[in-house]
Amino acid sequence: MKITKIFTFDSSHMLDGHDGKCQNLHGHTYKLEITVSDGIIKGGAKDGMVMDFTDLKAIVKQHITDPFDHAFIYHGGNGRESQIAALLESWNMKTLRLSCRTTAENMAVEMYGRLKNAGLNVCSVKLWETPTSCAEYEGG
C-alpha cells in the first residue's frame, strides 16, 4: 500500500554556468509529493493506516520544508554561489548548502536521502519546480 502527501515551500537558487535564464538568481514555489509504502497497520490507534498523515507531515517538516523553505539553496562546490550565500549569511539571511547543483533532479535525490535517513519508508519524491515541470526520484 502507498500513501502520498503534498507539501509546498518557497526557495531561491541559481544554476551558475547554465546556458539559459536559470543562470540568474530566481525563486520557485515548489510542490513536493512524498509517497511512502508499507503494510497496513493492524490494531491500535493507527489501525488501517500505512502511517498517520500527521506523522508524515512532521517528518517532512523537520527534514525538508523547515530547512528548504525561504532559503537560498546553493551548490557548496560552486565559488560564485558560495560567495552569494556568504553575503546573504552576513545579513542573517537563510541559506542551505547542498553538495550538488540545485537542479530539481538533484534536489529530489537529496530529499529522498534525507527522508530515508530519517527512517521513512519513502518510495518516491516528486518535486515540481513549476506547475508544468517536475523531477521524480524512486531510489536506486
> Which residues form the catalytic set?
22, 70, 129
- Strands lying side by side in the sheet with 26-37: 95-98, 71-75, 2-13, 26-37, 122-130, 133-137
Question: Where does 24-91 have alpha helices with state H?
Answer: 53-60, 66-68, 79-90
Confirm if 103 and 17 have CB atoms less than 8 A apart.
no
Burial group, residue 30, by CB count within 10 angstroms (0-12, 13-18, 19+): buried
